[in-house]
Structure 1
């Protein structure tokens, strides 16, 4: 099998050896992206968001000769999460703060640069941006201050610029109340209020779709020491913010075509006491129902950020995406009910944005278990029948696999991280729960090898302490009840896992890393799985065993997904090395392109 794969990859190398010049990135080309080995045209490489490349010049036998071929410095040392795109020898990437750059994919030399000037006074969700989209001669970027910008692909000149929301930089009403909690915890406030966008857009059928972030409304408190990870998340009950949404815009003009809100008017749902997969929830349903009449409009402030680009099924005309946690985070008294469709995987009609189905992983979420990692599309066999499936690597520690057409859960994997005290309510003493607020798999994209039926995930074991606290009345300020989620300071680590999607989600192997993993994975036909570590290493693992075969230290945290492409028949692997403030990993601003040492 492996010999046949390598032989096929050699044939692909011959096919891509002669450069054909720049070709339009149109609908036909994007639909065929999976069969285009040289280029990486979409955020997840193909519409199925599988992040699997058929390239194999860099393989288990040659990877030891992988060396840096070029380094591009963006000039910004800040949280760096981009997946670069490559089309016909040119790389397009978003830098921190939503700047966009085009560089020569073989040399790393800059071709053009767009400097984004944010209009919001305060960024809700930090400087990280996860990538751009290509299509119809344009480069599209959704910005940290909640705008969607179209640039000329050849020059980087802005063509149009539209607001996703009108009040992106306005502080939320939570600010004053939560500042009390920040003082009580003796920590510095770093967010989150307002609205932004960090996900890469998706382009199809003349439209650009993108979602907003920052509407979960839990305040982030910095650690008490520089360079350390997030200190805590604080939540207070109340009416704060707005619903998240995914919206489609006309790619030619920027006019809005449709919008799907993350929350719905009847978001209370059925007040379920167990999840759809049988886990018991700590809910006082009678009390929730009794308070529901006082909170009929809670859905209008319901949260549900969109943290990733959707996967797209052109044959069925469906988009698949995850929805973030409800607002306010952790504090649930002001949002009785199931809080539909937060913390859910949903399928939308790609033409209209109409909801087709939704699967709520965590009803009435208290733990920040939003569906943050992008789903992938593939086919599985169930009871002797081939089923078009969608899979998603959850914060909960399970990989969920659903029927793409109906949303029916086909199976969930074995846990790929330790699970303990899950779905415990916060206590005054603090309940230590794993996975914590970070997951599991956070926003990090997974990879799927469709031929072998194997999924690869980069996860973290980072327990968190969930507490309920009371701030005593002070003067004319009444007593304030609030919730904190504090990641434990010791005992965290990362895990890369291979999941057998052809056999019901059994784990094939797991590889432990010294630090939690945030950034994502890339799998290739060369039998390799690439992932980055917060300490700065880009690592290549054997796809069959998980054994480490190669590593290179990039000088800053590798907390972005690796990708691969070819120019003139030679394979490159590229990754952003810029770390992450919220996770405490060293920040930088480099993109590094690797190739084999004996290649030109």
Structure 2
């Protein structure tokens, strides 16, 4: 748990004015004990903190000092982010900024959902922050930016049609100045993808489908003379990891579709149930590993891709765990 959270629990913390988050700050989040800027407290997704202020000898003395309602009966799945004494929280109905010292609500912005779509507990990511903006997705396939100081919506882009079986659950990440978001729908005969966005303007920079079209690398793992690839699955419904040194984003993909494997003819079905290494500026697939070829049991490969530097046979290696 980060230092800022410990201060909330024990001492309180002074809420300083919000400033812009730089790429360097995001890259160093795992070493920053004052803020929580990314999901899992770092791009490597280790969820580790070196702090030892709270330990087994004093944890029983923790007492609540405030609580704040998130005005949501649908459940909470998203982890908060914290910057300069302000906690940013998102759920299926609202986006919030909360003073971590007092629990005072600084602002709240409602989630606008298209008519006929139910608000649900959906977000397995976090409130993504960068350069003075908060980024999030909505269940009806919108990615948007809010001003971190005011909660005002700055831009909003719709990237898929809910009626076609797509929806959004995972939080986006910012890697090398590009906002990257995924999509859900692994039970609806969809074709998964990742999108790259300009975080300042909302302009779409690229789209990388997780199921290759005929003639693209990986298409040989799908039946020939078949449209199976058009609804082959590979949703990207969790968030990714990022290695700034290699400038590679690692993002897991979900099951092959449909659940009935016969249209896939027992073939490997790339890039379902895999991890993709993506170049954030272009969306190019640098490499991949498929965890479960011909996934017929909805095994998925979407859990956290934890990054580490290890010694293997006496040599330093970068690995995914």
| Distance apart, 1:60 and its partner CA | 2.1
- Asked if residue 148 in structure 1 is aligned to residue 143 in structure 2, the reply is yes
- Asked if residue 127 in structure 1 is aligned to residue 75 in structure 2, the reply is no
Residues 84-104 of structure 1: CA deviation (Å, up to 9, x unaligned): 00001000011224x211111
Q: Residue 40 of structure 2 is aligned with which of 20, 35, 44?
A: 44
**Partners of 1:152 and 1:341 in 2: how far apart?**
36
**Mapping 1:18-417, distance limit 5 Å:** 22-97=18-93, 99-119=94-114, 121-122=116-117, 126-130=120-124, 131-165=126-160, 167-168=161-162, 170=163, 172=164, 194-217=165-188, 240=189, 242-265=190-213, 267=218, 269=220, 292-293=223-224, 296-329=226-259, 331-336=260-265, 337-391=267-321
* C-alpha contact (below 8 Å) 1:132/1:142 kept by paired residues: no
**Partners of 1:152 and 1:270 in 2: how far apart?**
44
| Distance apart, 1:54 and its partner CA | 2.3
* C-alpha contact (below 8 Å) 1:199/1:307 kept by paired residues: yes
Moved over 6 A (4+): 17-20
Pick the structure with greater CA Rg: 1
* C-alpha contact (below 8 Å) 1:133/1:200 kept by paired residues: yes
**Partners of 2:17 and 2:63 in 1: how far apart?**
27
The verdict on how the C-alpha distance between 1:95 and 1:293 changes in structure 2, with shifts beyond 3 A counting, is closer
Structure 1 length-normalised TM: 0.49
* C-alpha contact (below 8 Å) 1:317/1:351 kept by paired residues: no
* C-alpha contact (below 8 Å) 1:216/1:324 kept by paired residues: no
**Partners of 1:113 and 1:256 in 2: how far apart?**
27
* C-alpha contact (below 8 Å) 2:77/2:121 kept by paired residues: no
| Distance apart, 1:55 and its partner CA | 2.1
Structure 2 length-normalised TM: 0.89
* C-alpha contact (below 8 Å) 2:255/2:299 kept by paired residues: yes
**Partners of 1:270 and 1:129 in 2: how far apart?**
32
In structure 1, the residue corresponding to 2:295 is in which secondary structure?
coil
**Partners of 2:271 and 2:137 in 1: how far apart?**
23
**Partners of 1:382 and 1:112 in 2: how far apart?**
49
Residues 8-56 of structure 1: CA deviation (Å, up to 9, x unaligned): xxxxxxxxx9987543211121122122101100112111121112222
In structure 2, the residue corresponding to 1:380 is in which secondary structure?
strand
Equivalent residue for 1:526?
Answer: none
**Partners of 2:203 and 2:186 in 1: how far apart?**
23
Structure 2: which 5+ runs fail to align?
1-12
**Partners of 2:91 and 2:224 in 1: how far apart?**
46
Residues 263-286 of structure 1: CA deviation (Å, up to 9, x unaligned): 112556458xxxxxxxxxxxxxxx
Structure 1: which 5+ runs fail to align?
1-16, 173-193, 218-239, 272-291, 392-600
Between Structure 1 and Structure 2, which shows a larger proportion of strand residues? 1
* C-alpha contact (below 8 Å) 2:74/2:120 kept by paired residues: no
**Partners of 2:208 and 2:180 in 1: how far apart?**
11
What is the root-mean-square deviation of aligned Cα atoms in Å? Answer: 2.1
Residues 270-324 of structure 1: CA deviation (Å, up to 9, x unaligned): 58xxxxxxxxxxxxxxxxxxxx445x22111111111222111111110001001
**Partners of 1:52 and 1:102 in 2: how far apart?**
24
**Partners of 2:74 and 2:159 in 1: how far apart?**
24
Answer 1 or 2: higher relative contact order, Cα 8 Å, separation at least 6: 1
